[in-house]
Structure 1
Amino acid sequence: MKSMWNRRPAKEAAVPDTEPQDWDIDEGPQDVAGWSTGAQANTAAAIRWTAWGLLVLGPLLGAFAYLSAPAQAGPAQRTAAPVAPAATGAQGAAGFAQLFVAAFISAGEGDQDKLAAYYPDATSLRLEGASDRRRGEQFTVVRLRQTDSGVWSVKVAARITDTKPADGHQADAKDETKAAAAQGVRYFQVPVATATTAGGASGYTALAMPAEVAAAERIKAPGLVYGPMRPALPADPRTQAVTEFLTAYLTGAGELDRYLAPGTHLTPVVPAPYSGIAVDTLAIEGEKDTEPVTVVPDDGTTLRLLVALRATGHDEVRVPLTYALTLNARAGRWEIASLDGAPALATTPTASAAPAAPSDGTTPSMTPSTAPTPASTP
């Protein structure tokens, strides 16, 4: 007896539409509990590929997680100290102040809008006199200091001249006297602050109108390491060394390298601005007497000095110049070791310096230092 799975209807018998058909096991996939054998095979393959994918991606995901993890907490990082304002900010404030002072000096009746470009509240000012009655020139910033974050106090010097009489009439002797009193170099202090426009652009603005102030007091120059200026004697080897060097340096006469110490590299002034020089005086480091010197010390001796000279231009006019030089002794002659950027300052004893021991071997008394304390800068 054949199984019902292999039962086929007879050709002659009509199969009613409502009777379900039997399928042979070899003719196609079978449904078992809602799953076909093909679906089961596909599911198993997907599971296998998923497992292989996880095996391959596992090390990659682990490495990515390791690299992405934040660093372990260690010692607290030191907060960076606030830096000084950029030099471009100070330079911009200085230039802005000079332009403001120039507009202020030449301003007259009806020039409120010109000043408002620098100081917005200038629109409400009362200005008198003719516009451009005075003119400023030779503007120079003589002092620049930061008073607050983004705020600079700029002191501007300007030479002022009158271009026409105040009331339009011909100037007489009395007017000239008054004009002379108002002219000359005058000083103006301007408070300048950084500002940001509505569009996000940065610029500068004045916090007030310029204030006229007095000229700066004369400052006493600090002491230098050199002795007093004394005549430059032709027989002095130091005079000979600096004269030959500066002649080649300023006039182009002779080879410059022959006067330089080994390792020193200097370039002569080109084109040569002078036709000749004459060394007048020297100030030698540590030298207090004026005894003539005619010998060169042992090799390796270093000496600093100031050289005052007169250089003759191509128009036969002589101009005074001063050079700070460092010399080295080698092979019985002095050589130029460096052309110093500024004269060397004398050192000031400090309170921590130990007193020198007396020659008799006794213990020195510990006396507080009497060195003056540097004054604080306002």
Structure 2
Amino acid sequence: MKVNWGFGPPKDTDGGDTAPREKSAPSEQHTWTGGSQLATRVVVGLLWAALIAGPLALALQMLLPESRPVVRQDGYVDRIGEAAAVSEFAERAVVAWLETPAEESDVLRAYFGDLGLARPDIPWTTDGSAVAEIVKDDTGLWSVTVGVDATEGEPPADAAPAQTPAGEAEEPAEAGETPAAGEDDADAEPVQRVTSGRLYFQLPVLYVDGQMIAQALPSPVPAPGDFDQLTSAYDHGLAADHPAFARVANFLGAMLVSGDQASLEAYSSPGTSFRALNPVPYAGVQVDTIVAAGGEAPSEEPADGETAEVQANVTLSGSNGEQLGAQYSLVLQAREGRWEVARLRTSPALAEPVPIPTPSPAATATPGTSTSEGTSSQGPGPTPSDTPTREAGSDPAPTGSTTESP
């Protein structure tokens, strides 16, 4: 009788083998002990590697040159965050200054501290506030110009009109006396006064370690001045039967109306990556005129590689039938005798360069005047010395979300 004790093949109880036995496979016990030895060798190897790596890393740290931080430490990023915080604070401060009545003037201390406040009983109402300009002047203060739609408060309908105190009479001004500011002059032209509209206020803000407070009360300032547009380079109109006219019209129709990517690529130069609007927001597009730059219209039979700058003036139609004008500045390139759209410009071609402010010498400070380089006392318009410190509102973002590069 053979008995299997769990280690190796069965054995005879009488000590004799009934048949010759082949060489048996390694026992289960041998397998366990072999795995344990392998694990021990791995652990020992890792320990030796750790012991060697420590001194090696220390040596490399001492031999290698000192590394420079990737993040700039000149304060540029910090000033961007500082400008954002100051902008938000100034906007809230100006709105609170306009909307807070006299009976609640204590809430303004969080913005203006102990500055003297003359508050109206009937405050203004505001809407649509936004920061129009923010600069850091040479004193280290932030100068913020806030624009807001403000409406002067109206007294209740049953309120009695203001009266002169009893026993007092208004006396005319004596000969040679200059009327006080704000008094009407019979010979002067009437001043147009508004009680509702877009108003602008300038506020100096002190920022120290995340803490902010206005250094003065808001100052009403003129609106930013108007600026004439630069001369466009587009000076020659294309006839409606010009081959380039139809190509541009079909390109814009595929991109804005049909949303057909295959058709869009058919009117594009090879290698471009224009994308159709998805979802399509317009029901129709009408190309009114196409104007080319360079003094003459593009050739009707162009040579391969020839380019042309054009601007398309279009009318977009919504699903409700309402119309909206738009303009596209495009670069056309000829291939196999036909014009194709090679690029959508982010800005139109200009016939004159964009003006760059020239540096001006710093003004000498005089009593009663400010040496601030941020904004002048005549309004919120920038000065050439603002350019290095301007944090926001410098350049408009490119328009046209469908613009692609070839």
| TM-score class normalised by the smaller sequence | 0.5 to 0.7
Distance change in 2, residues 1:271/1:71 (3 Å)? closer
- The offset of 1:348, in angstroms, is 5.0
Residues 285-337 of structure 1 show CA distances to partners (whole Å, capped at 9, x for unaligned) of 212x5xx6661411112222222111111111111101121221112222222
Does the 8 Å contact 1:237/1:293 carry over to 2?
Answer: no
Partner of 2:228: 220
Question: 1 CA distance for matches of 2:274 and 2:160?
Answer: 59
User: What residue identity is the alignment partner of 1:157?
Assistant: G
Partner of 1:91: 84
Find 1:237's aligned residue among 243, 252, 258: 243
- The offset of 1:373, in angstroms, is 8.1
User: What residue identity is the alignment partner of 2:342?
Assistant: A
Question: 2 CA distance for matches of 1:166 and 1:229?
Answer: 61
Q: SS of the residue aligned with 1:90?
A: helix
Partner of 1:306: 311
Question: 2 CA distance for matches of 1:116 and 1:283?
Answer: 58
Partner of 1:319: 324
Matches within 5 A, 1:1-378: 82=74, 84=76, 86-122=79-115, 124-130=116-122, 133-148=123-138, 151-162=141-152, 164-165=154-155, 169=159, 181-196=194-209, 202-224=210-232, 226-228=233-235, 230=237, 232-254=238-260, 255-287=263-295, 289=296, 295-346=300-351, 374-376=357-359, 377-378=384-385
Does the 8 Å contact 1:235/1:294 carry over to 2?
Answer: no
Distance change in 2, residues 1:345/1:147 (3 Å)? farther
Unaligned runs of 5+ in 1: 1-58, 74-79, 172-177, 197-201, 350-371
User: What residue identity is the alignment partner of 2:108?
Assistant: L
- The offset of 1:262, in angstroms, is 1.5
Number of residue-to-residue matches in the alignment? 276
Identity %: 27
Q: Which moved more, 1:83-92 or 1:323-332?
A: 83-92
- The offset of 1:283, in angstroms, is 2.8
Distance change in 2, residues 1:150/1:313 (3 Å)? farther
Q: Which moved more, 1:308-317 or 1:340-349?
A: 340-349
Does the 8 Å contact 2:98/2:126 carry over to 1?
Answer: yes
Question: 2 CA distance for matches of 1:304 and 1:115?
Answer: 56
Q: SS of the residue aligned with 1:94?
A: helix
Does the 8 Å contact 1:119/1:207 carry over to 2?
Answer: yes
Does the 8 Å contact 2:235/2:294 carry over to 1?
Answer: no
Does the 8 Å contact 2:292/2:298 carry over to 1?
Answer: no
Unaligned runs of 5+ in 2: 1-51, 67-71, 162-190, 360-383, 386-406
Does the 8 Å contact 1:108/1:128 carry over to 2?
Answer: yes
Residues 4-44 of structure 1 show CA distances to partners (whole Å, capped at 9, x for unaligned) of xxxxxxxxxxxxxxxxxxxxxxxxxxxxxxxxxxxxxxxxx
User: What residue identity is the alignment partner of 2:293?
Assistant: E
Does the 8 Å contact 2:298/2:308 carry over to 1?
Answer: no
Residues 252-278 of structure 1 show CA distances to partners (whole Å, capped at 9, x for unaligned) of 254322222122112222222211111
TM-score, normalised to structure 1, is 0.62
CA-atom RMSD in angstroms = 3.7
- The offset of 1:344, in angstroms, is 3.1
TM-score, normalised to structure 2, is 0.58
Residues 79-125 of structure 1 show CA distances to partners (whole Å, capped at 9, x for unaligned) of x8945454332222222222112111112202322222222234x42
Does the 8 Å contact 2:259/2:278 carry over to 1?
Answer: no
Q: SS of the residue aligned with 2:343?
A: strand
Does the 8 Å contact 1:325/1:339 carry over to 2?
Answer: yes
Question: 2 CA distance for matches of 1:284 and 1:72?
Answer: 58
Q: Which runs of 4+ in 1 moved over 6 A?
A: 59-65, 70-73
Residues 33-76 of structure 1 show CA distances to partners (whole Å, capped at 9, x for unaligned) of xxxxxxxxxxxxxxxxxxxxxxxxxx999979965757899xxx
Distance change in 2, residues 1:72/1:154 (3 Å)? closer
Q: SS of the residue aligned with 1:246?
A: helix
Question: 2 CA distance for matches of 1:330 and 1:215?
Answer: 50
User: What residue identity is the alignment partner of 2:92?
Assistant: L
Q: SS of the residue aligned with 2:265?
A: helix
Does the 8 Å contact 1:328/1:334 carry over to 2?
Answer: yes
- The offset of 1:136, in angstroms, is 0.9
User: What residue identity is the alignment partner of 1:140?
Assistant: A
Does the 8 Å contact 2:234/2:349 carry over to 1?
Answer: no
Does the 8 Å contact 2:135/2:143 carry over to 1?
Answer: yes
Q: SS of the residue aligned with 2:311?
A: strand
Distance change in 2, residues 1:373/1:206 (3 Å)? closer
Partner of 1:364: none
Does the 8 Å contact 2:230/2:352 carry over to 1?
Answer: no
Question: 1 CA distance for matches of 2:153 and 2:306?
Answer: 61
Question: 1 CA distance for matches of 2:320 and 2:65?
Answer: 76
Select the structure of larger CA radius of gyration. 1
Query: Higher relative CO (CA 8 A, sep ≥ 6), structure 1 or 2?
Result: 2
